[in-house]
Structure 1
């Protein structure tokens, strides 16, 4: 038995009427039926429209429909029939390139002219080409050996900015009583500052070893990889007395996939193709706070 879906288009502009025609045409080719359940509706600063689809969409169909939405300047989300917004209890998200605009390790390396070398490893890891995140992180952190710890503060003050909608998302999520979890393969120096700035209930990340005011090129303790991210989310759900399907997750890289898999809504934020393909929603135009429309 197939499970119907809800398609949700999100945009900064009113939804183009031609988008519905495009989706209906493609659905017909696939032997599917879609029907509008909510017309073009304003939720400032966004607009949304919803359709029901009578069958589950294969990954190829999702990609094609997202490409149609892209043509009309909209992002598209797919919600399962059993999804109940009122049951969401946990918001878990990645930090680098999801919550914030940079990859912190790349920017730290930039202060010593090693950004290109570090970024190459970072990109390959996020695309899923380097499978072992722990080894990837160790290789990148080793290139930071000898950098002054003061560089961390410089990166935070000069280069790190929350991505569009981040502050609004966290403020509203906390008002709704959600357990907000920032879980990152990055560093505690930054997650702790963001916890205080944005009001996360919990943050988990890696700790850089610092001796005599300089980075040693090593990480202390266990490394937070994809498996660890998923485990921290499971623990947060247990704390809230709910299941993983009662969480909303957000990420951009392949190491976020274990955390995102099986959550109530998984959102790929300006993400790598491998993540978009598997996520319920792909945000390439709207801000992080557009997630609130999916749990409204």
Structure 2
């Protein structure tokens, strides 16, 4: 995939209190999402994309699978800018390399789920009516690490040394967190269905991430709560919470005719770039699952 036309001095810096990134220049100034998108996509935002006079864009728009992607760093890790930090392509980047696909990736690794819900940056794209698929990735910042862990994980000493991971979880707090996330998903789904009745919505619930000693995403927050991160109970807590998130998303899959849940669990087994992000092999596996679902929903002759 061709590199986006962006300056060489842009890099990612993890925000210390959450799971998202800040995008900065070498002089320390922050690059806003709007600035980056203007650099990466020299054509105007999608208002009337079919009216484009850009031959390259017109050719891409002629591809059968037109996809709008919105979400967190699982959707857009700003590759190849992020290559200097060792990151590889996201699964959406892999999908975009498929010659059947045109992708408008408006995801941003600096967005928390509340940002995605509130900003509604997908509105113009979806209202254009050309996108048959909407990929949404979000919610992990609310339960997978950073300051979010302290909202529902008890200090290790409060678990009583139990082997059951639920003994270390404040269930009522987790229920509140997931209710907030579910409300955000419902709002986004309702919007997409109101703005484009034919758009299929594709969700995923991440994978069973494994905390690492000293890891900035989960390892350090677990240590602050008194856990030995090498103790299997830390990974077990993340495992059951990820499964709970899949149960939440499965409700949308069952209730909403145009909503489809992609099961990413197992794609990253042995193939994590870090505590939270897939390596390239895992991204390819996940992209293939999405492409298979698109083939199922809209077969291309």
More strand by share: 1
Per the TM superposition, whether the score is higher than 0.5 is: no
TM-score normalised per structure 1 = 0.32
TM-score normalised per structure 2 = 0.32
